[in-house]
Each structure stands twice: as C-alpha cells, then as structure tokens.
Structure 1
C-alpha cells in the first residue's frame, strides 16, 4: 500500500505531469494507470486521470487532493480567478505555506490530512502569523476534535474536508484577524525583487542607491520605514498580481488537475500540449 501511495504522490507533480504531456510516455503514469484503472485502452488521458483521482477521493486523500479541493471549492467555487489569487509552497521563516488565498485579505491554509500528525503545527502557525494575519488549518473529520482542542482559544480557523469531499459548513471555525505578530522581515522575504521595488517606488518614489552587495539590505531597511499595516497591505496587492492564468484554457482542465495546472503557470505552447495530451487516447 505504501508503494501505491508514493506513486500517486509522484503522479500529481509538475515534473511528472509535464513529462507526460511532452512525451506521452511516462513510467509513473503508465504504472498508475495499469494499477488503478480498468480497461484503460479505449479512454482518453483526461478520463483516466479523473478515474485515478476518484480512487484517491475514496482511498488516499493526500496533500495534493486537499490542495486541489481548496482551489476548486474556494478559489473557483466561492471566489473567482479574476479577483482572487492562490499561492502555494511559499517559504515563511522556517515553514512553507501549503496554500494561500488572496482577495481583499489573505488567508494561509495549513493542510493536515488524515495521514498527517499535528507535531509541527505550533511552530508552523507561529511562522505564518509573521507574514499573514489570517491563518486556517484544513483537516479531516477524524482530526477535528484534536484541532479544536488545540486551537479553540486562538485566532486560527479550522476547515474540515468531509468524507463527501466537501468543506463542512458545520465543523468549522472561521479565522480571525491577528496583526500582533506581523514581522517586516518575514513579509519582505515573501516578496520577489520586482514586487518589493514596486512597493518602495510607490511609497518613497525612489529606490536605495547603493552597491549590489548591500542593495537587498537597504531595500529591507527602507521597507521597515513604512507603517507596518500599510506595508502589509501593499505587499498583498503585489502578491495578488501573481499567477495570472488564461481563463478560457483553464476552463477546459479537468477537476482533478486544476491545482497542478494553475500553479504551473503554463505558457501558450504548454496549453496547446496539455490540450492535445488530455484528448489523446491512452498510449496513442
């Protein structure tokens, strides 16, 4: 069973997916199809991947499954890719944020699947609050009581992925705003160079004049002179500009692959190759 789990984890990664798309011959994909799908020969790749995902929905809800559900239910179901941006695997201090949603505000979602423990949760939450003021744990029904006992008197929210693969309206604690731990350095480190330069130019109308060796440090120093909540608000506006995606092409992507494709920022030629691959018969 562990071997099955590992190969399913590998399948829903950008490296394997784009290898499949570009070569139509990937050993991980071939192994997964033979192992988890009956009579694959007459089906196109889009159908096959959806069937594998359906198996996962019942037997192996890994981190990708949770992340993909969040993207489908929150970004696409509740908000819109025109007005909201999702980010993933963003380093914050010593942790990495699984999923961040930015519209008027930003919420960090820390995923704890039924396969995970809560061992590192405390340090992860502390890190996230240094760079963002809303944080939520997304977990399974089986972990809900444990999550509530740990987080009941905190600003951290709790969302539950039900056995029907919906986000529970009943088993829920909404995150509340907490600005008390926001840290200039942590916020600054989330930004790309172009983004923090945009902020400094907007606020000060100039960038530091210094040698390349000291430039980053001087930009950070200048950033810390902006009132903290203003700096945070400006940072969110920059982050919200990331992950712009071709909506007409994205609409064609099957549910199972929405998250993987969204976070891969496909080029025009990628979109064409993905479309060909998904509509191609298996092994064709």
Structure 2
C-alpha cells in the first residue's frame, strides 16, 4: 500500500465496497469544498466503520487515497477506470493545454463515459468487471455517429471476446491488474462517417449558431423557434469531416486547463475534481480541506 494508513484491505467487508466506491465522486468533493461536510461520506464512513479501518485522526485525503487503493485491488469500479484514463492518457500521453477531457457527454440516446478532443475526437466507453454488455452495441452505434475514434476500455477477461464482435473501427484497451492501460486493438478513423444531425443534437444552442456561422458564412435570420431546424438544414449540406472538425473546435472550448492546474490534485482524485463542478482556481483549497479534516470530524456530524 502506498499511503500511510493502517487500513487492512481484508478487513473491509465485501458488502461495503460499493458504499466506499461512491465516496470517490464529484458530488462528494463538491460538498466537502462548499460546506466542509458530506452527508453521504459521513453515512458511508459510519456504515463501513471507517474509524476502525483508518483511525479517527486519519485525514480525509489519506482515507480517500486508501479507498482508491482498495478499489483498485478488490472492486474495480467505473471510477477506477476513469482515473486510469485521466492520469495515463489525458495527463500522461497528452497535455491539458491541447486536449480537452469531457465526461458524461450526451450523444443521441447514450452518454459517453469520457471523450477527449485535440486534433480529433476520441471516445472511451468503460466496461468494468462489474458491468454487463447489454447496451454496448447501441452505445457504440451512437458514438460512431459523432466521434472519429472509439475505444472500449475493459478488463483482461473481456478483451478477446469483444474483439470478435465489435465493429471493425472500434478499438479495445485493457486496464491490467497492475493498473496499466494496454491497447490491444487500435481504433480506426471514422470522421467521414459521422452523422451531422447527431452532432447538431449534441451541441448547445450557442455552439450550433457558432458552427453555422463558421461553416456557412452566416446564421439564418428566422424566428427563434425555427433557428435550430434551419441551422441543421444548412449544416446537413456540408461534408461530415468538416462538421466534425468544427465540432472538435467548439467542444474544446467547453473546458480549458493547463498542466499546472493539476499540481495540487491527488492523482486518485483527478476524475472527482473534474466532475465536481468546482472552479479550477479552488482546487488547491479542496486539497487543503481534505488534508486538514479528520475522519472523526466527518463521522461525528
């Protein structure tokens, strides 16, 4: 174990693993930042007897880092996969200055787990050991209507079966037991095949107007209730790759970071900070609060 905490992984009952996994989340981080407390965290800690696992004087930061280690070993939830992608691809392979990371992006009938925008668009659909594959086919169909490259990120046991059933352009990445990401099949470019109406549906109204102006030269002067339909009609006449390129430019503007923004963020909590909705200028304050608050204080509320 990498963190100074006297938690015994074996001492954590299996029934408490999902409970503790949900402690690693954007809403919990947001509540801690705004109020110094979290109703969910205090209830989860009491149920799991966190004071016995970690010690009442253990800081929240040390505790949540230990919880992440526990999840990595015994309960590889969606959050564990998100953390691997955020740290090893977004912050490791790319640069926040040139790449935008978006989560839970609505795409037609689906929500993309994680999408990265840089010179192109890449979507990552996570399928953990805890997931079933019932919706995977429809999810991939939706993503293929919007993104250039699509990857399924999964575990060792699922990689081979998936390769035989996935569309040929979809890639496969495995999160190994040693917490490394291994590309076992590369995704191929799909930008020429995107569906313009799906892209339009995913954009905000202001983004749609900006895209129409950029690609068509002007925006239709029509009543507000007709604007989206008119913009959609104009954009449908353009090449899919041109619309995709403009979509990437617009989505990148939704969230801009620099590498220094992450200096105060524990790597285990990168997804939680990103999904908390808290301004990046306040991230160091979140870490300070986590470092300065003990488990006992949370459990006594």
TM-score by length of 1: 0.90
What residue is the counterpart of 2:88 in the other structure? 73
Note if 1:200 corresponds to 2:212.
yes
Note if 1:92 corresponds to 2:107.
yes
Shift of 1:224: 1.5
1:81-230 aligned within 5 A: 81-151=96-166, 154-168=168-182, 172-179=184-191, 181-230=193-242
| Uncovered stretches (5+) of structure 1, i.e. residues with no partner | none
Note if 1:27 corresponds to 2:42.
no
Residue deviations 1:29-87 (CA, integer Å, cap 9, x gap): 23444535733333322211101111111011111111111011100011010111111
Higher relative contact order (CA 8 A, sep 6+): 2
Which stretch shows the higher mean deviation, 240-249 or 200-209?
240-249
| Uncovered stretches (5+) of structure 2, i.e. residues with no partner | 1-12
Shift of 1:112: 0.4
Contact 2:23/2:64 (CA < 8 Å) preserved in 1?
no
Which stretch shows the higher mean deviation, 245-254 or 71-80?
245-254
Residue deviations 1:167-209 (CA, integer Å, cap 9, x gap): 125xx10101124641111011222222222222222332111
Q: How many pairs align?
A: 281
Alignment partners' CA distance in 1, 2:207 and 2:292: 40
Shift of 1:93: 1.5
Contact 1:159/1:168 (CA < 8 Å) preserved in 2?
yes
Shift of 1:3: 4.7
Q: Which of 14, 19, 27 does residue 15 from structure 1 map onto?
A: 27
Shift of 1:215: 1.3
What residue is the counterpart of 2:7 in the other structure? none
Contact 2:105/2:113 (CA < 8 Å) preserved in 1?
yes
- 3-state SS of 2:249 partner: helix
What residue is the counterpart of 1:233 in the other structure? 245
Where has structure 1 moved over 6 Å in runs of 4 or more? none
Would the alpha carbon gap of residues 2 and 198 (structure 1) be closer, same or farther in structure 2, given more than 3 Å must change? farther
Instruction: Supply the RMSD in Å over aligned alpha carbons.
Output: 2.2
Contact 1:46/1:279 (CA < 8 Å) preserved in 2?
yes
Contact 2:219/2:231 (CA < 8 Å) preserved in 1?
yes
Alignment partners' CA distance in 2, 1:182 and 1:248: 35
Residue deviations 1:228-269 (CA, integer Å, cap 9, x gap): 211111111111222213643421111111012123342267
- 3-state SS of 2:145 partner: helix
Q: Which of 55, 58, 61 does residue 70 from structure 2 map onto?
A: 55
